[in-house]
Chains A and B, each alone.
Chain A
């Protein structure tokens, strides 16, 4: 793993982000609707819309708007202010980042607790009742609509049993108990679905490796089955599994919007959705950039992890 490779990857990342930002900036204003009209509602007159759009800086030529936005980020680290709420976007992102990360990690953890055991165990006895059971369960898990599962859990645990709160996020500073009680249901909702998706990949990755010659050789050498699994199979299946974990993590950071809405979870996904619906251009730009960056970074981490898992791999 050379430094040059790393720098190359980082340079590519910046290029990708730059391209994404230009594309978003060009496309978004094409969508009908304006944040001025959203603010004024049905009581919009052409004059007040024009006045507000001027205040929002939307009557400047696009390249001027783009440069003003870009230079704010590059030179001041400032993502600008929301056209709708007037709040600084950096502050909004900072507020939502801990909640988003917490939910993504918790959901991923629950997902792995589901996916790893079930995927591995079913792969070890393909075609068995156990395998069928896992297949059916993961099929159900993948097909369940997240809003249905979320509302069901809320009804059961909040309304009927009164064990857990119905919605909301509590930061750890408010007490670990409150934090955990609020994160359980949304994490389970997102985690069950994520885990069901990952289980199938774990299973197929395991099956693929189990069919390889070196596994037969290891068994022929007389190694204990457990050792075969642990030393050869898991290690090699790990690459595929790590890939899918990376993709799931990226999804959990940006695309669990429905879970965020149901549980009133202050995540970045729902921030992006609201910004889209309200035509809050700077918030939307910032969200897209953040998601693109997170995908790219996770990608990079995943690629780097391959080297740890398989020393025969080399990056020039």
Chain B
């Protein structure tokens, strides 16, 4: 008996040890990015290509596990006061910045105070919700003082690198936009805009034994077919995206892994509610019946997306499948006639050259709306001009996406609530406002879900946004790249990645 126990014990220990020794430390991952980062100041940069780099350079108070649940990161625990106005986070004691300096609560206070300061010009401070100030009662405790309760705050503090903790030194010496100093697994050692960015292992990283990689060599390869060739020929180990039409070919390549997951994102048509025709709800309803979402999704995503009439992807626990519309051009024509436009009307749609899928989508939409009498002209603009026109409301409709969404708040609040920062359509429904405010303060998953389902229904009925599809998040890499997984929150996370070669 003793012999048996001993044997089992030894075998179990060996098994446990061998699991621990499977990963190999060291090596350089050569990663192909699709676009150049647009600034690297975590609190200002908004481009996904910037955030994707920064996720490996800064850490947040909390993080999201692959299923989207909030887990501890720099903070080990947190609680909210009974009135919902004070959030308290307890910090780890063993965290250091990549320059060796220990991180304390004062750094957290500094980061968020800078974010809230209007002079900083942060476009991401909406993530802090109704936070008015952040204080540090002691070196390892941080308190957020809110004006009104905000249940989504902790999810937002986990969402993306924008809420990562930075070191004051990088702001003071003016390198915050080129080489921000954070507590993340890697640090930026070299950045050549337009060509290359080198991440080296943070020697002071607080998670013991991590990261496994010594270096991540990010190469910016903007042409998608060249990026694909670089993967196939082995010039790069990992690519952030590939032409979706090549997925079949890549899946058959024995040297490559196609890592696909549904993304917390959606593509939509934004409708300018000040437009004389589009302000009529029957017209928007007609458009919803005139378009064939399956065709649009196939054209835009080459079949990798999931057509939808609601924003939250079905893989999310918050998903709600409300689908009142169908592809019915006859009904669309009837609705247009009822609205007073039996012969249709003229309208513009504004995609952007920045996203080829938006142009393809616009072409299909133009054709389908033409069938019911709506004559659509396509105003295809390059990104900077598109942003200008969208920001100023100079459009009838546009095609765009929202990405990196986790909490139901993300899918509705800033875009659909009256007067909110990203409400570019001019949508204003007092009932929706009331529900959204309620969703902000309600605890409990079931109760919140019920609230957002009502919001979902109203927004889909009112159609300030016409939802098209939920895209997939797809990365492709060599089979020897281990410890990486594509995430629904679209974060690029190399902390546990290692090379099996």
B252 contacts chain A at the CB level, 8 A cutoff: no
Is B118 touching A51 in the complex (CB atoms < 8 A)? yes
B241 shortest CB reach to chain A, Å: 15
Please name all residues of chain B whose beta carbon is closer than 8 Å to the beta carbon of A262 when the two chains form the complex: 223, 226
Q: Is the CB of A158 within 8 A of B233?
A: yes
Chain B residues contacting A135 (CB-CB under 8 Å) are none
B229: interface (CB < 8 Å): yes
Is the beta-carbon distance between A39 and B195 smaller than 8 angstroms?
A: no
Q: In the complex, which residues of chain A have a beta carbon less than 8 angstroms from the beta carbon of B233? A: 158-159, 162, 165-166
B389 touches A45 (CB 8 A): no
CA distance A278 to B390 in the complex (A): 16
Contact A39 B400 (CB under 8 A): no
Contact B229 A166 (CB under 8 A): yes
Does B388 reach chain A (CB closer than 8 Å)?
Answer: yes
Given known contacts A39-B44, A39-B45, A167-B235, A34 and B384 CB-to-CB distance under 8 angstroms: yes
A249-279 interface (Cβ within 8 A of B): 261-264, 266, 270-271, 274, 277-279
Binary flags per residue of B85-127, CB closer than 8 Å to A gives 1, else 0: 0000000000000000000000000000000001111111010
Are A48's CB and B123's CB within 8 A?
A: yes
Of the candidate stretches A79-87, A229-237, A307-315, the one touching chain B is: A79-87
In the complex, what's the smallest C-beta–C-beta distance from A235 to chain B, in angstroms?
43
**B residues near A288, Cβ cutoff 8 Å:** none
A43-B391 in contact (CB<8A): no
A113 at the interface (CB under 8 A from B): no
Number of chain A residues close to chain B: CB under 8 A: 53
Q: How far is the CA of A274 from the CA of B49 in the complex (A)?
A: 15
Q: Nearest Cβ distance between residue A198 and chain B, in whole angstroms?
A: 27
Please state if B193 and A158 are interface contacts (CB–CB under 8 Å): no
In the bound complex, residues from chain B placing their C-beta under 8 Å from that of A48 are 118, 121-123
In the complex, A5→B44 CA distance in Å?
52
For B422, list chain A residues within 8 Å (CB).
42-43
A55, A154, A169: the one contacting B121 at CB < 8 Å is A55
A247 at interface (Cβ–Cβ under 8 A)? no
Report if A38 contacts B (CB, 8 A). Answer: yes
A158 and chain B: residue at smallest CB distance: B233
- Minimum CB distance partner of B387 in chain A: A37
| A residues in contact with B44, CB < 8 Å | 39-40, 52
Chain A contacts of B122 at CB under 8 A?
Answer: 48
Any A CB within 8 A of the CB of B349? no
Residue of A nearest to B162 (CB): A43
Give the size range of B's interface with the partner.
35 or more
Given contacts A37-B387, A48-B122, A158-B229, contact A264 B195 (CB under 8 A): yes
B232 CB contacts on chain A under 8 angstroms = 159
Tell me the residues in window 12-40 of chain A with beta carbons closer than 8 Å to chain B beta carbons.
Answer: 31-40
Q: How far is the CB of A246 from chain B (nearest CB, A)?
A: 28
Known: A44-B123, A82-B193. A277 touches B382 (CB 8 A): yes
Counting CB contacts under 8 A, is B15 at the interface?
Answer: no
Question: Is B177 located at the chain interface by the 8 A CB criterion?
Answer: yes
> Given the complex of chains A and B, what is the CA–CA distance between A90 and B493 in angstroms?
33
A98 within 8 A of B: no
Question: Cβ of B390 and Cβ of A42 under 8 Å apart?
Answer: yes
Expressed in whole angstroms, the minimum distance between the Cβ of B180 and any Cβ of chain A is 10
Q: Is the CB of A37 within 8 A of B223?
A: no
Segment with Cβ contacts to A, from B134-142, B214-222, B365-373: B214-222
> In the bound complex, do residue A264 and residue B220 qualify as a contact, i.e. CB atoms below 8 Å apart?
yes
Complex CA–CA separation, A42 to B232 (angstroms): 34
A244: B residues at CB distance < 8 A: none
> Does B39 reach chain A (CB closer than 8 Å)?
yes
The listed residue (A44, A51, A169) touching B120 by CB distance below 8 A is A51
Decide: A87 and B193 in contact? CB cutoff 8 A.
yes
Inter-chain contacts of A177 with B (CB < 8 A): none
In the complex, are the beta carbons of A45 and B192 less than 8 A apart? no
Contact with B along A55-77 (1 / 0, CB 8 A): 10000000000000000000000
> Whole-angstrom distance between the alpha carbons of A145 and B165 in the complex?
47
Residue from the list A41, A55, A167, A169 in contact with B230, Cβ < 8 A: A167
B323 is an interface residue with CB less than 8 A from chain A: no
> Is B194's beta carbon under 8 Å from chain A?
yes
Would B193 and A39 count as touching, CB distance under 8 A?
no
Q: How far is the CA of A112 from the CA of B137 in the complex (A)?
A: 73
A47 at the interface (CB under 8 A from B): yes
A49 interface residue, CB < 8 Å from B?
Answer: yes
Residue B261 lies at the interface, judged by CB distance under 8 Å to chain A: no
B119, B175, B176, B193: most-surrounded residue (chain A CB, <10 A)? B193
Q: A40–B36 Cα gap in the complex (Å)? A: 15
Contact A43 B222 (CB under 8 A): no
Tell me the bound Cα distance from A274 to B195 in angstroms: 12
A44, A46, A82, A266: the one within 8 Å of B387 (CB): A44
Q: Which of B178, B192, B221 contacts A167 (CB 8 A)?
A: B221
CB pair A43 B123 closer than 8 Å: yes
Q: In the complex, which residues of chain A have a beta carbon less than 8 angstroms from the beta carbon of B196?
A: 266
Nearest CB in chain A: distance from B436 CB, A:
18
Residue B383, interface by CB 8 Å: yes
Contacts of A155 in B (CB 8 A): 229
B116 to chain A, nearest CB (A): 12
B178–A32 CB distance below 8 A:
no
Please tell me if the beta carbons of A34 and B388 are within 8 angstroms of each other in the complex.
yes
Q: Which of B452-471 contact A (CB under 8 A)?
A: none
Chosen A-B contacts, 19 in total, with CB atoms closer than 8 Å, are A34-B384, A37-B387, A37-B388, A41-B123, A43-B46, A48-B122, A51-B118, A52-B121, A85-B39, A86-B39, A86-B41, A86-B175, A86-B176, A151-B225, A159-B229, A166-B235, A274-B193, A274-B194, A277-B383
Q: Which 9 A-B pairs have the closest CB atoms?
A: A33-B384, A51-B121, A86-B177, A41-B46, A52-B121, A40-B123, A43-B123, A266-B195, A85-B193
